Amino acid sequence: MNSQYDVIVIGGGAAGLMCSIEAGKRGKKVLVLEHYHKIGEKIRISGGGRCNFTNLNTSSENFLSNNPSFCKSALKQYTCENFLDLLKRHEINFHEKKLGQLFCNHNSQDIIDMLINESRLANVKILTNVLINHVKQGFNVSTNFGSFRSKSLVIATGGLSIPKIGATNFGYQVAKQFGLNVIETRPGLVPLTFTDIFLKYFSQLKGISIEALVFNKKQQFSEGLLFTHRGLSGPSILQISSYWNEGEEIIINLSSKNNVEKFLLCQKEKQNKQDIKNILYKILPKRLVQSICDIYGFSGRLIDLSNKQILLLGNIINNWSVKPSGSEGYKTAEVTLGGVDTKELSSKTMETKSIKGLYFVGEVVDVTGQLGGYNFQWAWSSGYVAGQYV
Q: Write the pLDDT tens digit of every residue in 131-190.
A: 999 999 899 999 999 999 999 999 999 999 999 988 999 999 999 999 999 999 999 999
Residues 225 and 183 in one domain: no
Residues 102 and 209 in one domain: no
Residues 264 and 285 in one domain: yes
Nearest residue to 314 (alpha-carbon basis) of 356, 366, 262, 386? 262
Select from 278, 310, 327 the last residue of a domain: 327
Instruction: Give the chain's residues under pLDDT 50.
Output: none
Residue 1: what pLDDT? 60
Cβ within 8 Å of residue 286, ≥6 positions away:
277
Residues 30 and 175 in one domain: yes
Residues 366 and 313 in one domain: no
Residue 204: what pLDDT? 85
Residue 135: what pLDDT? 97
Residue 305: what pLDDT? 93
* Three-state DSSP class for residue 253: strand
Residues 352 and 381 in one domain: yes
Select from 282, 308, 327 the last residue of a domain: 327
Q: Going by DSSP bridges, is the β-strand pair 231-233/192-193 parallel, antiparallel, or unpaired?
A: antiparallel
Q: Mind listing the pLDDT tens digit for each residue in 47-65?
A: 999 999 999 999 999 999 9
Q: What is the DSSP string of 342-362?
A: GGGB-TTT-BBSSSTTEEE-G
Please, which residues bridge with residue 253 across strands?
A: 213
Select from 327, 343, 361 the last residue of a domain: 327
Letter string b/e over residues 154-183, b meaning 16 or more CB atoms within 10 A of that residue's CB: bbbbbbbbbeeebbebbbbebbeebebebb
Residue 367: what pLDDT? 98
Residues 170 and 62 in one domain: yes
What's 180's domain CATH number? 3.50.50.60
Range of the domain at 303: 192-327
Q: With pLDDT > 70 as the criterion, what percentage of the chain qualifies? A: 99
pTM: 0.95
Residue 270: what pLDDT? 84
Residues 31 and 136 in one domain: yes
Please, which residues bridge with residue 321 across strands?
A: 251
Residues 33 and 117 in one domain: yes
Residue 196: what pLDDT? 75
What's 216's domain CATH number? 2.40.30.10
Residues 136 and 15 in one domain: yes
Residues 291 and 198 in one domain: yes
Q: What is the DSSP string of 2-53?
A: --EEEEEEE--SHHHHHHHHHHHHTT--EEEE-SSSSS-HHHHHGGGGT-EE
Residues 316 and 355 in one domain: no
CB 31 within 8 A of CB 150: yes
Total domains in the fold of the chain? 2
